[in-house]
Structure 1
Amino acid sequence: MSDTSSPTPFDPSAGGGRHVARRVAFISLAAIALGFVMQAVIFVAKLASGAAIPAAQLFVDIAQGITWSLLVCVGVGTATSISKARPAMAGLLSMLVAPAALAVARASQKIMASLVEAAGQPAVLSVATISTLKALEYGLLGWLLARLVQRGSASALPYISVGALIGLTFGTAISVLTYRVAVAKGTPPQLPAVVSTSINEIIFPVGCAFVIYLGQLVTRSLIAGPGPQAG
Protein backbone atom coordinates (compact mmCIF):
# COMPACT_ATOMS: atom_id res chain seq x y z
CA MET A 1 0.00 0.00 0.00
CA SER A 2 1.20 3.49 -0.78
CA ASP A 3 1.94 5.91 1.99
CA THR A 4 -0.67 8.67 1.91
CA SER A 5 0.61 10.57 4.93
CA SER A 6 1.36 14.24 4.40
CA PRO A 7 5.02 15.32 4.23
CA THR A 8 6.62 16.61 7.39
CA PRO A 9 6.69 20.42 7.39
CA PHE A 10 10.12 21.92 6.98
CA ASP A 11 11.62 23.10 10.28
CA PRO A 12 14.00 26.03 9.61
CA SER A 13 15.63 25.51 13.00
CA ALA A 14 16.52 21.90 12.23
CA GLY A 15 20.18 21.02 12.38
CA GLY A 16 20.92 22.83 15.60
CA GLY A 17 22.03 26.30 16.55
CA ARG A 18 25.07 26.17 14.29
CA HIS A 19 22.91 26.01 11.17
CA VAL A 20 20.67 28.79 12.44
CA ALA A 21 23.73 30.94 13.17
CA ARG A 22 25.09 30.34 9.68
CA ARG A 23 21.76 31.22 8.15
CA VAL A 24 21.54 34.45 10.14
CA ALA A 25 25.14 35.30 9.20
CA PHE A 26 24.34 34.78 5.53
CA ILE A 27 21.18 36.89 5.80
CA SER A 28 23.23 39.63 7.49
CA LEU A 29 25.66 39.80 4.57
CA ALA A 30 22.85 39.65 2.02
CA ALA A 31 20.94 42.38 3.88
CA ILE A 32 23.98 44.68 3.81
CA ALA A 33 24.29 44.06 0.08
CA LEU A 34 20.58 44.81 -0.31
CA GLY A 35 21.06 48.08 1.55
CA PHE A 36 23.80 49.15 -0.85
CA VAL A 37 21.73 48.13 -3.88
CA MET A 38 18.69 50.03 -2.66
CA GLN A 39 20.72 53.17 -2.01
CA ALA A 40 22.31 52.90 -5.45
CA VAL A 41 18.88 52.61 -7.10
CA ILE A 42 17.55 55.54 -5.08
CA PHE A 43 20.65 57.60 -5.90
CA VAL A 44 20.22 57.01 -9.63
CA ALA A 45 16.49 57.75 -9.41
CA LYS A 46 17.14 61.03 -7.61
CA LEU A 47 19.69 62.09 -10.20
CA ALA A 48 17.30 61.16 -13.00
CA SER A 49 14.58 63.29 -11.42
CA GLY A 50 16.85 66.31 -11.25
CA ALA A 51 18.13 66.23 -7.67
CA ALA A 52 21.51 67.51 -6.56
CA ILE A 53 22.85 65.21 -3.85
CA PRO A 54 25.70 66.50 -1.65
CA ALA A 55 28.29 63.90 -0.75
CA ALA A 56 27.59 64.38 2.96
CA GLN A 57 23.89 63.65 2.49
CA LEU A 58 24.75 60.58 0.43
CA PHE A 59 26.78 59.14 3.32
CA VAL A 60 23.90 59.84 5.70
CA ASP A 61 21.40 58.09 3.43
CA ILE A 62 23.70 55.08 3.00
CA ALA A 63 24.19 54.75 6.76
CA GLN A 64 20.47 54.82 7.43
CA GLY A 65 19.61 52.51 4.53
CA ILE A 66 22.14 49.83 5.41
CA THR A 67 21.28 49.95 9.12
CA TRP A 68 17.57 49.54 8.36
CA SER A 69 18.15 46.77 5.83
CA LEU A 70 20.48 44.84 8.12
CA LEU A 71 18.32 45.01 11.22
CA VAL A 72 14.91 44.39 9.69
CA CYS A 73 15.97 41.57 7.33
CA VAL A 74 18.02 39.85 10.04
CA GLY A 75 15.11 40.29 12.44
CA VAL A 76 12.60 38.72 10.06
CA GLY A 77 15.08 36.01 9.07
CA THR A 78 15.83 35.16 12.68
CA ALA A 79 12.12 35.09 13.49
CA THR A 80 11.49 32.51 10.79
CA SER A 81 14.50 30.50 12.00
CA ILE A 82 13.93 30.27 15.75
CA SER A 83 10.14 30.09 15.85
CA LYS A 84 10.05 26.40 14.84
CA ALA A 85 8.28 27.48 11.63
CA ARG A 86 5.25 28.77 13.55
CA PRO A 87 4.05 31.61 11.32
CA ALA A 88 2.15 33.39 14.10
CA MET A 89 5.25 33.56 16.30
CA ALA A 90 7.42 34.67 13.38
CA GLY A 91 4.90 37.41 12.57
CA LEU A 92 4.83 38.62 16.16
CA LEU A 93 8.62 38.74 16.42
CA SER A 94 8.86 40.56 13.09
CA MET A 95 6.24 43.04 14.29
CA LEU A 96 8.40 43.83 17.31
CA VAL A 97 11.63 44.05 15.31
CA ALA A 98 10.46 46.60 12.72
CA PRO A 99 9.90 49.60 15.05
CA ALA A 100 13.18 48.89 16.84
CA ALA A 101 15.04 48.69 13.53
CA LEU A 102 13.44 51.96 12.45
CA ALA A 103 14.52 53.70 15.66
CA VAL A 104 18.12 52.49 15.33
CA ALA A 105 18.24 53.44 11.64
CA ARG A 106 17.04 56.96 12.42
CA ALA A 107 19.56 57.23 15.24
CA SER A 108 22.37 56.20 12.88
CA GLN A 109 21.15 58.81 10.41
CA LYS A 110 21.35 61.54 13.05
CA ILE A 111 24.79 60.41 14.21
CA MET A 112 26.16 60.31 10.67
CA ALA A 113 24.60 63.69 9.88
CA SER A 114 26.33 65.24 12.88
CA LEU A 115 29.66 63.66 11.93
CA VAL A 116 29.64 64.93 8.35
CA GLU A 117 27.79 68.14 9.22
CA ALA A 118 24.91 67.40 6.88
CA ALA A 119 21.61 69.19 7.24
CA GLY A 120 19.03 67.08 9.01
CA GLN A 121 15.83 66.19 7.20
CA PRO A 122 12.74 66.54 9.39
CA ALA A 123 10.44 63.54 9.39
CA VAL A 124 7.06 64.05 7.77
CA LEU A 125 5.17 61.32 9.61
CA SER A 126 5.25 61.06 13.38
CA VAL A 127 7.31 58.35 15.04
CA ALA A 128 4.16 56.68 16.35
CA THR A 129 2.52 56.62 12.92
CA ILE A 130 5.45 55.24 10.95
CA SER A 131 6.36 52.76 13.70
CA THR A 132 2.82 51.39 13.75
CA LEU A 133 2.72 51.05 9.97
CA LYS A 134 6.12 49.34 9.89
CA ALA A 135 5.12 46.97 12.68
CA LEU A 136 2.01 45.92 10.77
CA GLU A 137 3.88 45.70 7.48
CA TYR A 138 6.75 43.54 8.65
CA GLY A 139 4.62 41.53 11.05
CA LEU A 140 2.49 40.47 8.10
CA LEU A 141 5.57 39.94 5.93
CA GLY A 142 7.18 37.74 8.59
CA TRP A 143 4.00 35.70 8.97
CA LEU A 144 3.63 35.12 5.24
CA LEU A 145 7.31 34.28 4.76
CA ALA A 146 7.22 31.83 7.67
CA ARG A 147 4.30 30.07 6.00
CA LEU A 148 6.36 29.72 2.82
CA VAL A 149 9.33 28.39 4.78
CA GLN A 150 7.08 25.95 6.62
CA ARG A 151 5.63 24.68 3.35
CA GLY A 152 9.14 24.22 1.99
CA SER A 153 8.64 26.42 -1.06
CA ALA A 154 11.73 25.87 -3.20
CA SER A 155 10.99 28.57 -5.78
CA ALA A 156 11.86 32.23 -5.37
CA LEU A 157 8.64 33.34 -7.04
CA PRO A 158 6.33 32.92 -4.00
CA TYR A 159 8.76 34.91 -1.84
CA ILE A 160 9.06 37.68 -4.40
CA SER A 161 5.29 37.72 -4.84
CA VAL A 162 4.74 38.07 -1.10
CA GLY A 163 7.29 40.89 -0.94
CA ALA A 164 5.64 42.62 -3.88
CA LEU A 165 2.20 42.30 -2.31
CA ILE A 166 3.40 43.79 0.97
CA GLY A 167 5.41 46.50 -0.79
CA LEU A 168 2.56 47.56 -3.05
CA THR A 169 0.04 47.56 -0.20
CA PHE A 170 1.96 49.21 2.61
CA GLY A 171 4.55 51.01 0.49
CA THR A 172 1.93 52.75 -1.58
CA ALA A 173 -0.06 53.65 1.54
CA ILE A 174 3.00 55.07 3.31
CA SER A 175 4.11 57.00 0.22
CA VAL A 176 0.67 58.53 -0.33
CA LEU A 177 0.23 59.32 3.37
CA THR A 178 3.67 60.94 3.51
CA TYR A 179 2.86 63.11 0.51
CA ARG A 180 -0.53 64.18 1.84
CA VAL A 181 0.81 65.01 5.30
CA ALA A 182 3.65 67.03 3.78
CA VAL A 183 1.20 68.97 1.62
CA ALA A 184 -1.05 69.57 4.62
CA LYS A 185 1.93 70.99 6.50
CA GLY A 186 2.59 73.39 3.65
CA THR A 187 5.82 71.68 2.55
CA PRO A 188 4.94 69.62 -0.54
CA PRO A 189 7.83 67.28 -1.36
CA GLN A 190 9.83 67.70 -4.53
CA LEU A 191 9.80 65.02 -7.21
CA PRO A 192 13.14 63.42 -6.13
CA ALA A 193 11.81 62.95 -2.59
CA VAL A 194 8.58 61.40 -3.86
CA VAL A 195 10.48 59.05 -6.16
CA SER A 196 12.99 57.96 -3.50
CA THR A 197 10.28 57.36 -0.90
CA SER A 198 8.19 55.31 -3.32
CA ILE A 199 11.15 53.19 -4.43
CA ASN A 200 12.29 52.53 -0.89
CA GLU A 201 8.85 51.70 0.49
CA ILE A 202 7.62 49.57 -2.41
CA ILE A 203 10.73 47.74 -3.62
CA PHE A 204 12.57 47.09 -0.34
CA PRO A 205 10.10 44.45 0.98
CA VAL A 206 10.65 42.52 -2.26
CA GLY A 207 14.40 42.56 -1.70
CA CYS A 208 14.03 41.56 1.94
CA ALA A 209 11.75 38.66 1.02
CA PHE A 210 14.32 37.48 -1.53
CA VAL A 211 17.04 37.65 1.13
CA ILE A 212 14.93 35.41 3.38
CA TYR A 213 14.47 33.01 0.47
CA LEU A 214 18.23 32.81 -0.04
CA GLY A 215 18.66 32.25 3.68
CA GLN A 216 16.32 29.27 3.73
CA LEU A 217 18.14 27.81 0.72
CA VAL A 218 21.35 27.98 2.73
CA THR A 219 19.61 26.22 5.63
CA ARG A 220 18.38 23.43 3.37
CA SER A 221 21.81 22.90 1.84
CA LEU A 222 23.40 22.73 5.29
CA ILE A 223 20.83 20.23 6.54
CA ALA A 224 21.06 18.10 3.40
CA GLY A 225 24.85 18.05 3.56
CA PRO A 226 27.20 17.34 0.66
CA GLY A 227 25.96 15.06 -2.05
CA PRO A 228 27.47 11.65 -2.74
CA GLN A 229 30.84 11.76 -4.41
CA ALA A 230 31.54 9.77 -7.53
CA GLY A 231 33.75 6.79 -6.95
Structure 2
Amino acid sequence: METALDDTAHLRHALIIGASRSLGLGLATELAARGWVVTGTVRGDTTTGLHQLAAASAGRVSVTRADITAPADLERLRGEFAPGSLDLLFVNAGITDPDLPASAVATDVFERVMVTNALGPVRAVEALAPLVREDGTIGVMTSRQGSISLNVRGGHEVYRASKAALNQLIRSYDARRTDRRTLLLLHPGWVQTELGGDGAPLTVEESVTGLVDTLDRHVGDGGLQFRNHLDEVIPW
Protein backbone atom coordinates (compact mmCIF):
# COMPACT_ATOMS: atom_id res chain seq x y z
CA MET A 1 0.00 0.00 0.00
CA GLU A 2 1.30 3.44 -0.90
CA THR A 3 1.67 5.81 2.03
CA ALA A 4 3.66 8.71 0.58
CA LEU A 5 1.75 11.81 1.61
CA ASP A 6 2.90 13.80 -1.41
CA ASP A 7 1.38 11.29 -3.83
CA THR A 8 -2.33 12.05 -3.66
CA ALA A 9 -3.33 11.57 -7.29
CA HIS A 10 -4.91 8.20 -6.50
CA LEU A 11 -6.86 9.50 -3.50
CA ARG A 12 -10.35 10.94 -3.45
CA HIS A 13 -10.53 14.73 -3.14
CA ALA A 14 -13.30 16.67 -1.40
CA LEU A 15 -14.11 20.36 -1.02
CA ILE A 16 -16.35 21.21 1.93
CA ILE A 17 -17.91 24.67 2.00
CA GLY A 18 -18.37 25.68 5.63
CA ALA A 19 -16.05 23.38 7.57
CA SER A 20 -14.84 25.47 10.48
CA ARG A 21 -16.94 23.76 13.14
CA SER A 22 -19.87 21.50 13.95
CA LEU A 23 -21.14 19.28 11.11
CA GLY A 24 -18.81 20.74 8.48
CA LEU A 25 -15.77 20.08 10.64
CA GLY A 26 -17.15 16.65 11.47
CA LEU A 27 -17.44 15.84 7.76
CA ALA A 28 -13.87 16.96 7.14
CA THR A 29 -12.67 14.84 10.04
CA GLU A 30 -14.58 11.74 8.92
CA LEU A 31 -13.51 12.01 5.29
CA ALA A 32 -9.86 12.52 6.25
CA ALA A 33 -10.07 9.48 8.53
CA ARG A 34 -11.29 7.45 5.55
CA GLY A 35 -8.30 8.49 3.45
CA TRP A 36 -9.69 11.46 1.54
CA VAL A 37 -7.76 14.61 0.72
CA VAL A 38 -9.95 17.42 2.06
CA THR A 39 -10.08 21.16 1.53
CA GLY A 40 -12.42 23.01 3.85
CA THR A 41 -13.49 26.63 3.81
CA VAL A 42 -13.74 29.13 6.65
CA ARG A 43 -15.10 32.67 6.56
CA GLY A 44 -12.67 34.68 8.68
CA ASP A 45 -9.13 34.85 9.98
CA THR A 46 -9.77 33.25 13.38
CA THR A 47 -8.14 29.90 14.05
CA THR A 48 -10.79 27.18 14.00
CA GLY A 49 -11.12 23.47 14.58
CA LEU A 50 -10.44 23.00 10.87
CA HIS A 51 -7.06 24.69 11.24
CA GLN A 52 -6.24 22.32 14.07
CA LEU A 53 -7.33 19.33 12.01
CA ALA A 54 -5.20 20.50 9.10
CA ALA A 55 -2.15 20.97 11.32
CA ALA A 56 -2.37 17.36 12.47
CA SER A 57 -3.18 15.86 9.07
CA ALA A 58 0.29 15.64 7.47
CA GLY A 59 -0.95 17.57 4.45
CA ARG A 60 -4.19 15.68 3.84
CA VAL A 61 -6.41 18.54 5.05
CA SER A 62 -6.08 22.16 3.96
CA VAL A 63 -7.93 25.38 4.72
CA THR A 64 -9.05 28.17 2.41
CA ARG A 65 -11.32 31.16 2.86
CA ALA A 66 -14.77 31.70 1.35
CA ASP A 67 -18.02 33.32 2.41
CA ILE A 68 -20.95 31.50 0.84
CA THR A 69 -22.91 34.75 0.68
CA ALA A 70 -20.21 36.49 -1.40
CA PRO A 71 -20.27 35.54 -5.12
CA ALA A 72 -16.77 36.98 -5.61
CA ASP A 73 -15.44 34.54 -3.00
CA LEU A 74 -16.99 31.63 -4.88
CA GLU A 75 -15.45 32.78 -8.15
CA ARG A 76 -12.04 33.07 -6.51
CA LEU A 77 -12.44 29.64 -4.92
CA ARG A 78 -13.27 28.09 -8.29
CA GLY A 79 -9.93 29.34 -9.57
CA GLU A 80 -8.08 27.41 -6.86
CA PHE A 81 -8.98 24.03 -8.38
CA ALA A 82 -8.72 22.45 -11.81
CA PRO A 83 -11.98 21.47 -13.54
CA GLY A 84 -12.90 17.88 -12.74
CA SER A 85 -10.36 17.61 -9.93
CA LEU A 86 -12.87 16.88 -7.16
CA ASP A 87 -14.71 13.68 -6.35
CA LEU A 88 -16.99 15.46 -3.90
CA LEU A 89 -18.25 18.99 -3.39
CA PHE A 90 -20.20 19.36 -0.16
CA VAL A 91 -22.00 22.62 0.55
CA ASN A 92 -22.72 23.10 4.24
CA ALA A 93 -24.39 26.28 5.45
CA GLY A 94 -27.09 27.04 7.92
CA ILE A 95 -28.18 29.72 10.34
CA THR A 96 -31.41 30.06 12.24
CA ASP A 97 -33.52 32.81 13.77
CA PRO A 98 -35.74 33.18 16.83
CA ASP A 99 -38.68 30.77 16.81
CA LEU A 100 -41.30 33.33 15.83
CA PRO A 101 -44.10 33.48 13.27
CA ALA A 102 -42.72 34.72 9.97
CA SER A 103 -44.77 37.90 10.26
CA ALA A 104 -42.91 38.79 13.48
CA VAL A 105 -39.41 38.35 12.06
CA ALA A 106 -37.51 41.48 11.11
CA THR A 107 -36.96 41.88 7.38
CA ASP A 108 -33.18 41.98 7.68
CA VAL A 109 -33.21 38.72 9.67
CA PHE A 110 -35.46 37.09 7.07
CA GLU A 111 -33.12 38.19 4.29
CA ARG A 112 -30.00 36.97 6.11
CA VAL A 113 -31.47 33.52 6.76
CA MET A 114 -32.71 33.16 3.19
CA VAL A 115 -29.45 34.31 1.59
CA THR A 116 -27.30 32.11 3.82
CA ASN A 117 -29.45 28.99 3.75
CA ALA A 118 -30.88 29.04 0.22
CA LEU A 119 -29.35 31.52 -2.21
CA GLY A 120 -25.74 31.09 -1.06
CA PRO A 121 -25.72 27.28 -1.34
CA VAL A 122 -27.27 27.20 -4.82
CA ARG A 123 -24.82 29.85 -5.99
CA ALA A 124 -22.01 27.69 -4.62
CA VAL A 125 -23.31 24.64 -6.48
CA GLU A 126 -23.63 26.60 -9.72
CA ALA A 127 -20.16 28.12 -9.43
CA LEU A 128 -18.26 25.06 -8.25
CA ALA A 129 -19.99 22.13 -9.98
CA PRO A 130 -17.49 22.18 -12.89
CA LEU A 131 -14.75 21.29 -10.40
CA VAL A 132 -16.44 17.92 -9.78
CA ARG A 133 -15.77 14.90 -11.97
CA GLU A 134 -18.61 13.94 -14.28
CA ASP A 135 -19.15 10.79 -12.19
CA GLY A 136 -18.61 12.65 -8.92
CA THR A 137 -20.99 13.81 -6.21
CA ILE A 138 -22.38 17.13 -5.03
CA GLY A 139 -23.83 17.08 -1.53
CA VAL A 140 -25.87 19.88 0.02
CA MET A 141 -26.79 20.02 3.70
CA THR A 142 -30.50 20.64 4.13
CA SER A 143 -33.07 19.63 6.73
CA ARG A 144 -36.26 17.60 6.97
CA GLN A 145 -37.76 20.88 8.21
CA GLY A 146 -37.61 21.91 4.57
CA SER A 147 -40.06 19.15 3.69
CA ILE A 148 -43.46 20.71 3.05
CA SER A 149 -45.32 17.41 3.42
CA LEU A 150 -43.72 16.70 6.83
CA ASN A 151 -44.59 20.11 8.28
CA VAL A 152 -47.45 19.21 10.61
CA ARG A 153 -46.30 21.11 13.74
CA GLY A 154 -45.09 24.45 12.41
CA GLY A 155 -42.47 26.39 14.34
CA HIS A 156 -39.18 27.90 13.17
CA GLU A 157 -41.07 29.22 10.18
CA VAL A 158 -38.33 31.23 8.50
CA TYR A 159 -35.73 28.49 8.95
CA ARG A 160 -38.20 25.96 7.51
CA ALA A 161 -38.96 28.27 4.61
CA SER A 162 -35.25 28.76 3.88
CA LYS A 163 -34.65 25.03 3.69
CA ALA A 164 -37.76 24.50 1.55
CA ALA A 165 -36.45 27.25 -0.73
CA LEU A 166 -33.05 25.56 -0.86
CA ASN A 167 -34.65 22.24 -1.81
CA GLN A 168 -36.72 23.90 -4.54
CA LEU A 169 -33.75 25.82 -5.93
CA ILE A 170 -31.61 22.67 -6.06
CA ARG A 171 -34.46 20.77 -7.69
CA SER A 172 -34.74 23.50 -10.32
CA TYR A 173 -30.98 23.37 -10.87
CA ASP A 174 -31.20 19.62 -11.34
CA ALA A 175 -34.05 20.00 -13.85
CA ARG A 176 -32.03 22.19 -16.20
CA ARG A 177 -28.56 20.66 -15.92
CA THR A 178 -27.24 18.15 -18.45
CA ASP A 179 -24.39 16.46 -16.54
CA ARG A 180 -24.44 13.10 -14.73
CA ARG A 181 -23.07 14.17 -11.36
CA THR A 182 -24.91 12.69 -8.39
CA LEU A 183 -26.73 15.39 -6.42
CA LEU A 184 -27.75 14.67 -2.82
CA LEU A 185 -29.76 16.90 -0.53
CA LEU A 186 -28.92 15.50 2.90
CA HIS A 187 -30.65 15.84 6.27
CA PRO A 188 -28.15 15.17 9.08
CA GLY A 189 -30.70 14.13 11.68
CA TRP A 190 -31.35 15.93 14.95
CA VAL A 191 -27.81 16.65 16.04
CA GLN A 192 -26.17 18.17 19.11
CA THR A 193 -25.16 21.41 17.42
CA GLU A 194 -25.93 25.07 18.02
CA LEU A 195 -29.04 24.62 15.89
CA GLY A 196 -30.05 21.22 17.30
CA GLY A 197 -29.37 21.91 20.96
CA ASP A 198 -27.77 19.82 23.67
CA GLY A 199 -30.84 17.61 23.98
CA ALA A 200 -30.61 16.25 20.43
CA PRO A 201 -30.20 12.45 20.24
CA LEU A 202 -27.30 12.40 17.77
CA THR A 203 -23.71 13.47 18.26
CA VAL A 204 -21.89 15.15 15.41
CA GLU A 205 -19.74 12.04 15.02
CA GLU A 206 -22.79 9.77 14.70
CA SER A 207 -24.42 12.05 12.16
CA VAL A 208 -21.40 12.51 9.92
CA THR A 209 -20.60 8.80 9.93
CA GLY A 210 -24.05 8.19 8.50
CA LEU A 211 -23.77 11.08 6.05
CA VAL A 212 -20.47 9.83 4.64
CA ASP A 213 -21.82 6.27 4.43
CA THR A 214 -24.79 7.65 2.46
CA LEU A 215 -22.52 9.62 0.14
CA ASP A 216 -20.49 6.47 -0.50
CA ARG A 217 -23.56 4.35 -1.28
CA HIS A 218 -24.73 6.69 -4.02
CA VAL A 219 -21.51 7.34 -5.90
CA GLY A 220 -22.27 7.20 -9.61
CA ASP A 221 -26.06 7.21 -9.24
CA GLY A 222 -26.59 10.47 -11.10
CA GLY A 223 -29.72 12.54 -10.60
CA LEU A 224 -31.11 14.17 -7.45
CA GLN A 225 -32.15 12.53 -4.18
CA PHE A 226 -33.35 13.89 -0.80
CA ARG A 227 -32.14 11.58 1.97
CA ASN A 228 -31.11 11.57 5.63
CA HIS A 229 -28.03 10.33 7.48
CA LEU A 230 -29.55 6.83 7.61
CA ASP A 231 -29.92 6.82 3.81
CA GLU A 232 -33.70 7.03 4.12
CA VAL A 233 -35.68 8.96 1.51
CA ILE A 234 -37.21 12.20 2.82
CA PRO A 235 -40.50 13.28 1.21
CA TRP A 236 -40.51 16.65 -0.50
**TM-score under structure 1 length normalisation:** 0.29
- Between Structure 1 and Structure 2, the one with more helix by share is 1
If you compute each CA radius of gyration, which structure gives the higher value, 1 or 2? Answer: 1
- Between Structure 1 and Structure 2, the one with more strand by share is 2
**TM-score under structure 2 length normalisation:** 0.29
